[in-house]
């Protein structure tokens, strides 16, 4: 077996250039055996450029990279990095491939403005690159120190912490400090630069003077806190002048606004520096170094002299106030060879910062990630986890190749989404993460995972990998871990990996669904409900802002960047939310499951969340499903066609009112705001198919069956949309109307005049019929005397339900008349009309039997109305129930009292008998 290191001949390791703080004072004592087993990648393989499984027929030379992930993590598909403007001479492309460190401009809680800045350095060239994911890379500064490029020696971030709006500490990074290319052996060169990286401000920078030096080893600025009287406003330079090594400290107090952390660039001459020599080191081989900040506000400098001699690891405490430096006692690490030093980012917490490092155990040759725990008297080196290299799928020279196990990136951050602290480690082909909740004890309850493996193939020549991670490019950005992927031709790609958000932790408000406009059928409502809920999770419908049910803006943002059906799904748990066969006004409460999609490699979520939902809408009924009578039903109980017309109207109304959900609705055909309409029984001169054809009997040559029944095959209905959208009924598939089942009718049409349908011979004698109707007694039990619109409709409907009322006759309350009803019996005026013809809806009480009209007015009496209670509806049942309880208590009390008297009487009688018997005995004596 061969390793990749054998093939490539080694890899230069660079220190992560993050200006963080760590507690590192005292003695490094011993290695603890405590560590976390590393979880493996466990997903199916997929292409990092598409996020889906690779087509097995894809050509080997095409642009693809198969990867595996830990299923607790997802990825953002990789896309090629952009370059802003022209890359003249290819300098920018080369600079991107020489990244030595990554920093991030952050505006505290406003993470939308975050911008990545990369330190790029190769021999003779040093840049700070601005990496805007939207606009692309551009050169921000081109005068960065570039004499030594093995790791980030030159640049540090200047970060300030403050209390955010949510009460927690947050931080801003507005400045970078870097050593520039003016550094040389001459004193008082302006070799140190502070530059403002806020993209919203005009570019500003100042230069500070530097001592004579041959090279820079490290630049460091402690994280500062506003309004802190003990704040350390210093820049620290670790530099060498050949084989003599120094620490220079710059006091920034003259520039710093302690209330905001902002710098005043107008007076750089007021910044002074002092130097301290590190005694006892006579070598130029400073291999790797990092500064850390202890809990005692003292800075330590830690460094190796050579990568091959771990026993010469050095640590010194710097006292900037007294301008002194003291060496810390450091024990030999007999079995460890350290190769990477950085520090944790616990910014915003009250917990100490720690030094983190990677080292090779020379007894097992395993690389582990350690931290120096200074929580007790002995500074204890604790193993957090070990790297877990694996073999590539592709063979090289018919042999399996093990991935290289050397670290090329180290990063620490706090995950605002999952609320945990993290250390991220990259190798050329893997990304690892160690997550923990309590920074005071990093090794307890931490989880180590290999979260991504880039299963690269090999180039045709030289055996190099086609793809690998770019050194030191890792950064927590836009709530994701961003790194840069590089191919064999030095092309680069922005790539992302992230811990999935656990939906079990999702906190939401109640969601109410109201579609706003009527839809057709359960499937349409369910789809609309899911879309509306997804908009409320995201806070946007794609074009405008909507009220979000998620209060946490960062969690809301990941829903905003996710797609329903691709990254998560919504499953309606309760069928009653959108009922299948219940129509009309719906007001239901139930649950919807917000769940991850296990098969999605790009999903930001895992597990699921039960969301309570209230649905308020009107469920429309498809009129095409209405069957008021069976096909070819024979109606033979009426002699005149007027009654047949009324019977048809009644059958349709009854069928509609039997539909679940419409039982309490009044769906009378002649309502002014009727929900449905029917075509005329006679052929008219309309301009559409619905109204031009009659039912089938008012024609010169009507169709008859063998029994001389009229065949009515032209009865048509449709939703009434004269007054806007119909929210009760609809027709699907673009139909304008529905033709009801064929009805066969036995009736007498002799003497009728179909040439003129409004001829009096076609009308019923409404005057005579009205006199009979006025003698009827109408039952109003269950109705009330109030004259609001709802009660008036109920009274009108009750009148038309009289069992002795011929279906040809309709009764209507008169519009504009102010009705006054009394309890028990009320007499009032109504309009009586021929339902085969029209009636006037005005408040006229006159009769009209001319033309298309056929109506008159009469007085009718209704019995049994009640005055409505002034109490709320819930009060009478309670009073009734309470009265019953009182009655039961009275009866029970009476029973107990009577029983008590009975027992007293019985006992008394028995005592009297005993006394009398005793007296008789005494007399006998």
| Residue of higher predicted confidence among 476 and 298 | 476
**Range of 156-165, 324-333, 801-810, 897-906 with top mean pLDDT:** 801-810
d(CA 518, CA 908): 82
Lowest mean pLDDT among 595-599, 685-689, 863-867, 904-908: 904-908
Q: Provide mean pLDDT across the span 783-787.
A: 93
pLDDT band at 617 (very low <50, low <70, confident <90, very high): very high
Determine, yes or no, domain membership for 375. no
Q: How far lies 321's CA from each of 218, 277, 291, in Å?
A: 20, 15, 17
Percent of the chain with pLDDT over 70: 85
3-state secondary structure of 333: coil
Lowest mean pLDDT among 73-87, 648-662, 851-865, 893-907: 893-907
d(CA 805, CA 776): 9
* Residue 376 DSSP one-character state: S
DSSP H or E run through 830: strand 825-834
Q: Does 655 lie in the same domain as 615?
A: no
Q: Does 723 lie in the same domain as 597?
A: no
Using only C-alpha atoms, the chain has a radius of gyration, in whole angstroms, of 44
- Give the pLDDT score at 147: 82
Determine, yes or no, domain membership for 274. yes
d(CA 862, CA 797): 12
Q: Provide mean pLDDT across the span 229-238.
A: 80
Q: Which tokens hold the place of 649?
A: 């109207």
The domain tally of the chain equals 5
Q: Provide mean pLDDT across the span 473-502.
A: 93
Q: Does 207 lie in the same domain as 120?
A: yes
- Give the pLDDT score at 401: 92
Give CB contacts under 8 A, 24+ apart, made by 730-735. Answer: 730/518, 730/520, 730/620, 730/621, 730/622, 730/623, 731/622, 731/623, 731/624, 732/520, 732/521, 732/622, 732/624, 735/624
- Give the pLDDT score at 349: 67
* Residue 888 predicted with pLDDT over 90: no
Q: Are 169 and 161 in contact (CB under 8 A)?
A: yes
Determine, yes or no, domain membership for 806. yes
Q: Does 200 lie in the same domain as 94?
A: yes
- Give the pLDDT score at 913: 67
- Give the pLDDT score at 454: 96
The residues with which 739 forms a beta bridge, in sequence order, are 716
Domain C-terminal end among 567, 594, 619:
619
Q: Is the Cα dihedral 105, 111, 112, 118 positive or negative?
A: positive
Cα atoms in the 13 Å half-sphere on the side-chain side of 480: 24
- Give the pLDDT score at 842: 80
The residues with which 276 forms a beta bridge, in sequence order, are 247
Residues 563-595: tens digit of each pLDDT: 999 999 999 999 999 998 899 999 999 999 999
Q: Provide mean pLDDT across the span 604-625.
A: 95
- For all residues of the chain together, what is the average pLDDT? 85
| Residue of higher predicted confidence among 133 and 22 | 133
Q: Does 147 lie in the same domain as 255?
A: yes
Determine, yes or no, domain membership for 223. yes
Residues 55-111: tens digit of each pLDDT: 877 776 678 899 999 999 999 999 999 888 777 667 888 889 999 889 988 876 666
- Give the pLDDT score at 684: 76
Q: Which tokens hold the place of 539?
A: 């806070």
- Give the pLDDT score at 26: 36
Q: Provide mean pLDDT across the span 520-549.
A: 94
* Residue 440 predicted with pLDDT over 90: no
| Residue of higher predicted confidence among 11 and 647 | 647
* Residue 484 predicted with pLDDT over 90: yes
Q: Does 749 lie in the same domain as 772?
A: no
Residues 328-382: tens digit of each pLDDT: 665 445 677 777 777 787 766 666 677 788 888 888 888 999 887 766 555 677 8
- Residue 383: count other Cβ atoms within 10 Å of its Cβ: 20
Closest CA to 503 of 597, 420, 594: 594
Q: Is 623 exposed, middle or buried (0-12, 13-18, 19+ CB in 10 A)?
A: buried
The residues with which 809 forms a beta bridge, in sequence order, are 834
d(CA 586, CA 582): 8
- Give the pLDDT score at 915: 63
Q: Which tokens hold the place of 789?
A: 């619109």
Q: Does 790 lie in the same domain as 716?
A: no
Q: Are 743 and 629 in contact (CB under 8 A)?
A: yes
d(CA 143, CA 666): 83
Closest CA to 299 of 309, 308, 290: 290
| Residue of higher predicted confidence among 304 and 367 | 367
Q: Give percent helix, percent strand, percent coil of the chain, each to the nearest 5.
A: 15, 35, 45
d(CA 403, CA 389): 6
| Residue of higher predicted confidence among 318 and 555 | 555
- Give the pLDDT score at 230: 64
| Residue of higher predicted confidence among 687 and 637 | 637
pLDDT band at 168 (very low <50, low <70, confident <90, very high): low
Q: Does 786 lie in the same domain as 730?
A: no
3-state secondary structure of 79: strand
Strands 169-179 and 99-107: antiparallel
Q: Does 27 lie in the same domain as 84?
A: yes
Residue with tokens 């003077």: 209
Determine, yes or no, domain membership for 799. yes
d(CA 100, CA 149): 8
Closest CA to 177 of 227, 247, 242, 103: 103
Q: Provide mean pLDDT across the span 421-430.
A: 95
Determine, yes or no, domain membership for 480. no
pLDDT band at 237 (very low <50, low <70, confident <90, very high): very high
Residues 261-287: tens digit of each pLDDT: 889 999 899 999 999 998 877 776 776
Domain C-terminal end among 754, 775, 808:
754
- Give the pLDDT score at 223: 75
Determine, yes or no, domain membership for 107. yes
The residues with which 482 forms a beta bridge, in sequence order, are 475, 496
Determine, yes or no, domain membership for 625. no
In this structure, the chain runs to a length of: 925
Residues 12-60: tens digit of each pLDDT: 223 333 333 233 333 343 344 456 789 999 999 999 999 999 887 777 6
d(CA 473, CA 476): 10
Closest CA to 621 of 662, 576, 677: 662
- Give the pLDDT score at 4: 44
| Residue of higher predicted confidence among 5 and 471 | 471
Domain C-terminal end among 754, 783, 812:
754
Q: Does 598 lie in the same domain as 537?
A: yes
Q: Supply the range of the domain harboring residue 858.
A: 763-868
Q: Does 825 lie in the same domain as 722?
A: no
Q: Does 154 lie in the same domain as 7?
A: yes
Q: Which tokens hold the place of 651?
A: 């059958």
């Amino acid at each position: 077996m061969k390793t990749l290191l054998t093939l490539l001949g080694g890899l230069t390791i660079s220190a992560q250039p993050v200006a963080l703080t760590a507690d590192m004072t005292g003695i490094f004592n011993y290695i603890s055996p405590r560590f976390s087993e590393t979880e493996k990648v466990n997903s199916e393989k997929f292409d990092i450029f598409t996020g889906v499984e690779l087509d097995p027929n894809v050509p080997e030379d095409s642009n693809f990279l198969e990867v595996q992930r830990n299923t607790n993590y997802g990825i953002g598909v990789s896309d090629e990095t952009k370059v802003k403007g022209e890359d003249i001479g290819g300098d920018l492309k080369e600079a991107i491939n020489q990244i030595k460190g990554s920093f991030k401009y952050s505006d505290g809680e406003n993470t939308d403005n975050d911008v990545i800045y990369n330190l790029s350095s190769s021999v003779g060239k040093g840049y700070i690159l601005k990496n805007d994911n939207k606009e692309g890379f551009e050169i921000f500064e081109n005068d960065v120190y570039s004499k030594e490029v093995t790791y980030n020696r030159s640049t540090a971030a200047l970060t300030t912490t403050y209390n955010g709006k949510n009460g927690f500490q947050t931080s801003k990074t507005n400045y970078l400090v870097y050593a520039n290319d003016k550094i040389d052996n001459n004193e008082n060169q302006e070799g140190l630069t502070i530059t403002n990286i806020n993209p919203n401000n005009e570019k500003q920078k100042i230069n500070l003077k530097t001592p004579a030096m041959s090279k820079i080893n490290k630049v460091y600025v402690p994280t500062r806190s506003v309004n802190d009287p003990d704040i350390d406003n210093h820049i620290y330079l670790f530099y060498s002048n050949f084989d003599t090594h120094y620490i220079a400290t710059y006091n920034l107090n003259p520039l710093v606004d302690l209330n905001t952390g902002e710098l005043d660039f107008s007076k750089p001459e007021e910044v002074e520096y002092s130097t301290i020599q590190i005694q006892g080191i006579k070598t130029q081989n400073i291999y790797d170094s990092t500064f850390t900040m202890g809990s005692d506000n003292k800075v330590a400098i830690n460094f190796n002299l050579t990568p091959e001699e771990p026993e010469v690891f050095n640590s010194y405490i710097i006292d900037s106030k007294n301008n002194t430096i003291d060496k810390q006692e450091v024990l030999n690490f007999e079995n460890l060879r350290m190769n990477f030093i950085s520090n944790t980012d616990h910014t915003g917490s009250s917990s100490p910062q720690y030094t983190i490092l990677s080292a090779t155990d020379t007894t097992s040759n395993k690389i582990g990630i350690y931290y120096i725990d200074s929580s007790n008297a002995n500074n204890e080196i604790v193993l957090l986890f070990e790297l877990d290299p694996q073999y590539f799928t592709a063979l090289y020279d018919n042999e399996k190749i093990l991935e290289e196990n050397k670290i090329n990136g180290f990063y620490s951050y706090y995950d605002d989404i999952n609320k945990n602290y993290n250390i991220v480690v990259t190798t050329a082909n893997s990304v690892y993460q160690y997550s923990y909740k309590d920074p005071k004890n990093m090794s307890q309850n931490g989880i180590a995972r290999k979260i991504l493996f880039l299963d690269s193939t090999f180039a045709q020549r030289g055996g190099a990998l086609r793809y690998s991670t770019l050194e030191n490019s890792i950064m927590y950005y836009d709530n994701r871990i961003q790194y840069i992927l590089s191919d064999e031709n030095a092309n680069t790609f922005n790539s992302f990996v992230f811990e999935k958000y656990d939906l079990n932790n999702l906190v939401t408000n109640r969601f109410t669904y109201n579609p706003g406009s009527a839809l057709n059928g359960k499937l349409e409502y369910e789809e609309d409900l899911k879309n509306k809920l997804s908009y409320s999770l995201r806070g946007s419908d794609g074009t405008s802002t909507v009220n979000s049910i998620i209060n946490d803006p960062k969690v809301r943002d990941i829903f905003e960047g996710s797609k329903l059906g691709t990254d998560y799904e919504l499953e309606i748990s309760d069928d009653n939310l959108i009922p299948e066969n219940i129509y009309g006004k719906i007001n239901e409460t139930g649950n919807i499951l917000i769940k991850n999609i296990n098969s999605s490699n790009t999903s930001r979520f895992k597990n699921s969340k039960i969301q309570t939902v209230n649905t308020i809408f009107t469920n429309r009924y498809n009129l095409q499903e209405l069957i008021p009578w069976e096909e070819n039903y024979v109606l033979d109980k009426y002699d005149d066609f007027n009654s047949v017309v009324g019977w048809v109207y009644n059958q349709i109304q009854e069928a509609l009112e039997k539909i679940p959900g419409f039982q309490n609705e009044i769906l009378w055909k002649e309502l002014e705001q009727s929900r449905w309409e029917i075509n005329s029984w006679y052929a008219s001169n309309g301009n559409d198919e619905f109204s031009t054809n009659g039912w089938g009997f008012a024609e010169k040559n009507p169709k008859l069956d063998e029994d001389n029944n009229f065949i009515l095959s032209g009865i048509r209905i449709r939703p009434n949309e004269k007054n806007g959208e119909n929210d009760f009924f609809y027709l699907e598939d673009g139909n304008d109307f529905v033709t009801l089942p064929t009805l066969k009718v036995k009736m007498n049409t002799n003497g009728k005049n179909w040439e003129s349908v409004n001829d009096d011979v076609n009308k019923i004698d409404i005057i005579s019929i009205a006199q009979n109707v006025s003698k009827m007694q109408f039952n109003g039990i269950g109705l009330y005397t109030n004259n609001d619109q709802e009660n008036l409709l109920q009274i009108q409907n009750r009148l038309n339900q009289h069992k002795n009322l011929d279906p040809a006759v309709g009764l209507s309350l008169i519009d504009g008349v102010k009705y006054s009803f009394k309890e028990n019996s009320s007499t009032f005026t109504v309009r009586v009309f021929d339902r085969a013809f029209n009636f006037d809806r005005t408040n006229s009480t006159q009769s009209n039997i001319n033309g298309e009209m056929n109506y008159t007015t009469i007085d009718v009496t209704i019995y049994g109305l009640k005055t409505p209670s002034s109490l709320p509806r819930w009060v009478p049942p309670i009073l009734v129930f309470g009265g019953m309880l009182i009655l039961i208590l009275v009866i029970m009390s009476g029973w107990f009292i009577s029983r008590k008297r009975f027992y007293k009487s019985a006992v008394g009688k028995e005592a009297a008998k005993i006394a009398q018997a005793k007296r008789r005995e005494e007399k006998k004596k």
